[in-house]
Amino acid sequence: MASVQTFAQTDSKNLPNGNYLVVAAFSPAHEDFAIRLSASLNKEGHHTAYGFEAARKFWYVYFDQITALDDCISECKKIQKDERFSDAWVHIVTDAPNSKSPIVATPETVEQKKEPAIIIIKEEPVVTEEKKVEPVVTDVVENPVAAPVYLPQTLKNTPVFLSLFNTTTNEVMDGEVEVVNTETAKLIARVKGNTYITLPNPGTKSGNLSLINDTFGYRKEQLEINFKETERDTLRPYVVLVGNFYMINFGLTKVQKGDISTLYNVYFLNDAAIMLPESKYQLNSLLQMMTENPKMKIVLHGHTNGGGRGKIIYMGPSKNFFAVTSDVINGSGSAKELSKARAETIRQWLISQGISEDRITVKGWGGTRMIHDKNSTFARKNIRVDVEVVED
C-alpha cells in the first residue's frame, strides 16, 4: 500500500524535504502557470499541488499524496502511460549538499540527473550466457559520426493545453476557444478551454492560427500561434512548452464601463418575448457578473432581424420566462417593440434573481442595427440582446 501524506504548503511555498512525483516545472517568474495547471488538473479529478525549490529555482506541479520513494517510482511508471504525463519524473528535495549518490529502488535502477533533478526509470537488462565466437580478422573501417536527430515540437506532434483564467484572481475559468485560419479568417473549430487538445492544421503555407476566447462577462482575447514553427512561439509571453505539451494562457479581464457583450446564447421563441430553456446557462453568467460587481449598472439593447410589424407574444402574469403558458398575452407591434420586450424579459428575470431593478435599463432598436444582411445565412445573429456596462 502506498504511503500517503499531503504536503502542506508553507507561507513561502518552499517544498519540504521529500520525494515528489512531478508532472511539470516552471521558472521562478511563472508561479501563476503552476497555480493554473494544478487547479486545472484538480478539476479533472487529480490530486495535485505546487511548490518552489529554492536550491534549483523551479516551481513544481506534483501529485501530492505520494511520499515513499518506491511508491513514487511505481506510480510514475503508471502515469507515464498517459500521453500528457509521459515526461513525468520523481524529484527528490533534500538538504544534503552536493549529493551525487545513485539511488536504487526495487529491481529497477534509478539514475539521478541535475537541473532539474529527474529520476529516469529503466528496466534492468536480462543477463544471458553468451556463446563464444571465434574472432575473425578483418580490416577496420571507421564509421562516420552520426549527427543527432532532432524532431521539432510542432502542433502536428504536440498537444496544447488552453488555460483560461481570471487575471485578477488567477481563478480557472470555464469557456470555449474558437480556432480560426488566420489567412482566410474562416472558423475551423470550436474547442473547450482547460483541456488537452490537438489543434487542427489550417492547411496554409504560413500555418498561422488565431485562437479567440469570448467568455461572457470578460473582454475578448485573441492569441496567435503557428502550426509549423510552434517552438518559435514560446518567445511570446502567453506560450510555454511544458514537457510534451504547449500551455497557451488566456488572461481574461472583466468587462468595464463602455464595454458591450452579446448574449448570443440567449434564444427567444418566434415572435415572442419568451426565452427558450437552453438560455439559462448564459443568463446565469450574466447574473454572476452582476452579483460579483454590486455597483455595476447595465443597459440591455434588444435587436431583431429586419423591421416591420407583426404579432408579439408577451409573457403572462405567472412570469414563466421559458415556456408559453395559458396566461400569455397575444398582441402586435413593431420590430422595435418586440426587441424592447425581449430585453425587458431578461431584465425581469434578473430582478427575480435578486438584482436591484435600478441597475438595469432596456432599449429596443428593432432592425436598425443589424450586423448581417437580413437574408444572409448569418441573419439569425441579428436577433440578439447586447449588454452594455454603463457603470462599474
Answer yes or no: is pLDDT of 198 > 80: yes
Alpha carbon distance 161, 225 (integer Å): 13
Residue range 7-65, pLDDT digits in tens:
434 345 889 999 999 999 998 988 988 998 999 889 888 999 999 998 889 999 999 88
Of 134 and 292, the structure prediction assigns the larger pLDDT to 292
Query: Are 382 and 305 a contacting pair, CB within 8 Å?
Result: yes
pLDDT-based confidence at residue 182 (cuts at 50, 70, 90): very high
Q: Which residue has the higher pLDDT, 103 or 354?
A: 354
Confidence (pLDDT) at 301: 98
For residue 144, the model assigns a pLDDT of 64
pLDDT of 336 above 70: yes
- In 3-state terms, what secondary structure has residue 10? coil
Residue 156 has pLDDT above 70, yes or no: yes
> What pLDDT is recorded for position 117?
41
Architecture in CATH of 260-391: 2-Layer Sandwich (3.30)
pLDDT tier for residue 121 given thresholds of 50, 70 and 90: very low
Pick the more confident residue, 238 or 135: 238
Q: Which residues pair with 300 in a beta bridge?
A: 362, 387
Supply the mean pLDDT for the chain: 85
Q: Where are the domains of the chain?
A: 18-122, 160-252, 260-391
Q: What's the pLDDT at 262? A: 93
pLDDT band with cut points at 50, 70 and 90 for residue 123: very low
Please tell me the distance from the alpha carbon of residue 103 to that of residue 69, in angstroms, as a whole number.
10
What local confidence, expressed as pLDDT, does residue 357 receive? 96
Task: Tell me: pLDDT of 209 over 60.
Answer: yes
In CATH terms, 160-252 corresponds, of 2.40.50, 3.40.630, 2.60.40, 1.10.1060, to 2.60.40
Q: CB neighbours of 66 closer than 8 A, spacing ≥ 6? A: 2, 3, 4, 19, 21, 72, 75
Confidence of residue 1 (pLDDT cuts 50, 70, 90): very low
| pLDDT confidence band for 199 (50 / 70 / 90) | very high
When pLDDT is averaged across residues 352-376 and rounded to a whole number, the result is: 94
Count of beta carbons in the 10 Å neighbourhood of residue 284? 12
Q: Is 60 exposed, middle or buried (0-12, 13-18, 19+ CB in 10 A)?
A: buried
In which band, very low, low, confident or very high, does the pLDDT at 105 lie, cut at 50, 70 and 90? very low
Given this model, what pLDDT does residue 147 score? 63
For position 55, what pLDDT does the model report?
A: 87
C-alpha–C-alpha distance, residues 373 and 306, integer Å: 9
Largest Cα separation within the chain, whole Å, is 105
How far apart, in whole angstroms, are the C-alpha atoms of residue 100 and residue 336? 78
> Which percentage of the chain shows pLDDT scores above 90?
59
Identity of the highest mean pLDDT range in 27-36, 123-132, 147-156: 27-36
Residue 248 near residue 37 (C-beta atoms within 8 A): no
pLDDT in tens, 295-333: 999 999 999 998 889 999 999 999 999 999 999 999 999
